[in-house]
Amino acid sequence: MSGDDCAIEQSDMRQAEASAEKPLMLALAIVASAGERPASEIAAELGLPPSSARRLLKLLSRTGLLTRLSHGHYAAGPALEKIAGQVTLSARLKAAAKAPLRRLARATGATAHLGILEGDMVTYLAKESHDPQFQETKAGTQLEAYCTGIGKMLLAALPEKARDDFLANGPFVPITANTLTDPEQLLADIQQCAIRDYAIDDAEMFEDIRCIAVPVRRDDIVIAAVSLSRKQSHVTQELRQRDLLRLKGCADEIAAILA
């Protein structure tokens, strides 16, 4: 690209940015006011002439980004509300976790998951695996919380009453020979998870699959958990400690992306 072409392209970009800036600023300011302030007042603060403001308001209303409440007052329109509704915490978690989980799976040769608690079940929002034989889960899978690493970690983060309500809603079905089904044993295990800040699934959900999970926090609140799963009949303490360090690094990376 020649110097002249580069200068033209940069000029075009500046013009595009300038033409997009005012409508975006106007829409954001109106949405932030929640219909309390007249649009003309907001436009004047942004330095928009009345004629330009009227044209922009018509455009933003026509495209559904704003909706007219009463004379001179606007709020977020259906198109903007639809976009906002799609940008849920789950969607943000999935996006934030993708690269860190992939790196974790590659570094360990294991299967990495990110999950949240929905009711009494764990929903796996994301999965990255370097084990082609690991087909037991996929993104969107729901599994019981009481016998999975992610589930027990998230149960450990619940308020005491919510946790007690969960444990009172048995019976808990023995899915494998290692599944904890006694509420008192489950409570002791969950309390231990809270103390050490990680959870272990010792082939409690699937035969010969061992899992370790740690929480993902935002503003000191547990919002999800990440895990590493291995198809092995036994996991050494040394390997578990290496996995734990990498998991904590992954959880911190996801939290930093969300911050």
Mean pLDDT of the chain: 86
Q: What is the pTM of this model?
A: 0.69
Q: Are 43 and 28 in contact (CB under 8 A)?
A: no
Q: In angstroms, rounded to a whole number, what is the distance separating the alpha carbons of residues 17 and 25? A: 12
Q: What is the pLDDT of residues 73-129, one digit of tens each?
A: 988 888 877 776 656 788 889 989 999 999 999 999 999 999 999 888 999 999 998
Hey, what domains does the chain have and what are their CATH numbers? 3-85 (1.10.10.10), 89-258 (3.30.450.40)
As a whole-number percent, the residues of the chain with pLDDT over 70 amount to: 90
Helix pair angle (149-156, 183-196), 10° resolution: 80
CA atoms within 13 A on the CB side of 87: 7
Q: Are 126 and 91 in contact (CB under 8 A)?
A: no
